[in-house]
Amino acid sequence: MQRGRLVLVTGGVRSGKSRFAEELAIKTAQEVIYVATARITDEEMARRVAKHKARRPDYWRTVEEPWDLNRVLREWGEKGRTILVDCLGTYITNLLLEKGINEEEANLALKDFARVAWSSPADIIIVTNEVGWGVVPPYPLGRMFRDILGSANQEIAYLADEVYLMVCGIPLEIKSLAQSGFEKLFLKKGQA
């Protein structure tokens, strides 16, 4: 079975990550499955989700999944489909705060997710947050979140066919299929 393309879109808050990922999904001209990891817990979050929904084409199918991305990829991951996961940071928050998993369990779950995404016959686009450019959080849970997401981002970027960094709404392609040997030169396994 031939695998699809794996794309990672990262950047800071309000950098244009989601909008750019949506544009990439539209360009695939395939059936799009939008995987929403956010949970609506208050009015402000409801407004945010409504803005995201209003931008998406009506023909896209939305799957809300805050806790089990592997199940979604296995269930919906068919050739000729694009699955857009938005976003990995929210997914990790859900695992830590609502499922109560520890750091080791989270790291194992995310490594498994990266491999499932890489091997899927569908094209997978993952939106994530770049967390290494801010201050060190003053509390243990914040540092654990930052470390888990940073490691997950590295794992997915290593496997990805394409990686984009969003800065001020501008996409910077930092890895593409055309970069032969990129992983061997710059992204050796186990390096931080």
- Tell me which residues are annotated as active site: 52
Nearest by Cα to 104 from 138, 144, 70: 144
Using the Cα atoms of residue 77, residue 183, residue 27 and residue 15 in order, give the sign of their dihedral: positive
First to last CA, the chain: 32
Show Cβ contacts of residue 124 under 8 Å, excluding neighbours closer than 6 positions. 4, 5, 6, 7, 73, 77, 82, 83, 85, 117, 118
Nearest by Cα to 73 from 30, 39, 123, 109: 123
Query: Nearest 5 degrees, angle CA 154-CA 19-CA 6?
Result: 40
**Please, are residues 89 and 12 in contact by the beta-carbon 8 Å criterion?**
no
Determine whether 182 is exposed, middle or buried from the number of CB atoms within 10 Å of its CB (0-12, 13-18, 19+): middle
